[in-house]
Structure 1
């Protein structure tokens, strides 16, 4: 009798289990499909940029979404030569790399102090950095222009490096601080027992552990600095110091735009960004989720 009473329940469970498994597979498949669709939507503008870089102006307007009727490789060569993009890329590289390195060094030092030490006015200092995140960057162009004119920094690499670093520091400090808080203090205590001072702990323990957040800060800062147009437009007038965004503007004037050369120049300018992101993507993902879970 007992066996007869339990069989219906066992049968119901056995029937429900395949249904649940099938439902989970369906949900998983739907999620993957949605992610694939999102990836294609995200990548399509990049695809469109590269195929447009090899079109003539007529082909660009007549067939904006299709493949080029004739692949114009000359667009890339002409854009490189006419826009003096070799020099512009060198200028962008110098400004961007220097600004990124300064941002990383200063933000990690400041974040380490804020994450590990207690001192008077700590909350005030953090509030000041927070206020720096709230200031509209472009509202400072005129004051910065006047300031740099007085101290003789206009038309120099410093005219871009210093503002870039200053405006990127607040967000970089808060990202690094959130990451460092998640690092167990026992690691530092063990290093201190081994005879390391604060600088030894920072250089030998903290820095190697901060590789993911350094990658995250680097790519975010790189994208901001590499693509900046407004600061370079206001602070740089010399042709020899123009950055890539300024070079792109040479193909457009008040009378029209040469889209074939513009797309070719943009394709050249976006390649370094893609390469750096592909190199750092794994560390970037680790850095973005770091600090969200303690332990």
Structure 2
């Protein structure tokens, strides 16, 4: 039986629902308040970076009475932040590249190849997510001291990569399982081997989740203080978090220079996030959409 004209009109013109508009406004207001609370610490850091010490205490939440742009240049010079930023960049980029390459390859093998101990191997990798990272500082220090690796870039790069591999493999496996196997079969029919399938098909398709892994790893490596403090002794190899500690001692803290240095340190993080934000959002939701 075909629907009548009145039935079609009722379906096309549903009854008004006056509660939807207020609910939408409340949702937008809630999102606005959440964004304001999230961005306020960044705003506070920026305005504090241009205050004098006296202004920092007298007007903690207000705009600077006089903008002290010299805080940035003084913090850069006194903290030797140019060298520290270079060291942090070398360590972070090397660790991120190793994490992405090894994590993607391991996830590809575990998600696409069936072998007897695959479940055990997955469990061992994921077990790394449960290990308290800082509880390994003493054993790692003793081990690196015996093999002569202390006070080198590798004393940071290798532990960073090892502890980040668990989350990288976990995210990549979840994403790769949503990719249809027919895509790989079609590529193999065209003459690609396993390496060709990975390099030409899987890796490009995984760029959203790789971007997510990249930003998570970058934030962890760039902001790490404890590993750098324990494993690095040379001033020439100090990273950015170590240079920030120079403005505070047992007798007091120069808040003007500290905030200026933190402002410098946070700029690369913001830039990296702005570059990868679209891919990060895709990586967060792609698995649920495809599955």
1:179-202 C-alpha deviation (Å, 9 max, x unpaired): 000001010000010010000000
Q: Which residue of 2 aligns with 1:219?
A: 215
Q: Which residue of 2 aligns with 1:247?
A: 243
The alpha-carbon deviation at position 29 of structure 1 amounts to 1.4
The alpha-carbon deviation at position 293 of structure 1 amounts to 3.6
Structure-2 separation of matches of 1:13 and 1:250: 69
Structure 1 runs of 4+ with >3 Å offset: 12-16
1:101-148 C-alpha deviation (Å, 9 max, x unpaired): 000000000000011010011111011012111000000000000000
TM-score, with length taken from structure 2 = 0.95
The alpha-carbon deviation at position 292 of structure 1 amounts to 2.2
Report 1:50-61 matches (<5 A): 50-61=46-57
Whether 1:88 aligns to 2:84 is yes
| Root-mean-square deviation over aligned CA pairs | 1.6
Q: Return 5+ residue gaps in structure 2 as ranges.
A: 1-5
| The structure with more radius of gyration | 1
1:155-214 C-alpha deviation (Å, 9 max, x unpaired): 100000000000000010010010000001010000010010000000000111011011
Question: SS at 1:218's partner residue?
Answer: helix
TM-score, with length taken from structure 1 = 0.93
Distance 1:259 1:198, change over 3 A: same
Within the candidate set 232, 238, 241, 1:236 is matched to 232
Structure-2 separation of matches of 1:14 and 1:206: 44
1:89-108 C-alpha deviation (Å, 9 max, x unpaired): 00000000000000000000
Structure-2 separation of matches of 1:217 and 1:61: 39
**How many pairs align?**
283
Q: Return 5+ residue gaps in structure 1 as ranges.
A: 1-6
Q: Which residue of 2 aligns with 1:3?
A: none
Structure-1 separation of matches of 2:122 and 2:73: 49
Report 1:272-291 matches (<5 A): 272-291=268-287
Within the candidate set 63, 66, 70, 1:67 is matched to 63
Q: Which residue of 2 aligns with 1:4?
A: none
Question: SS at 2:55's partner residue?
Answer: helix
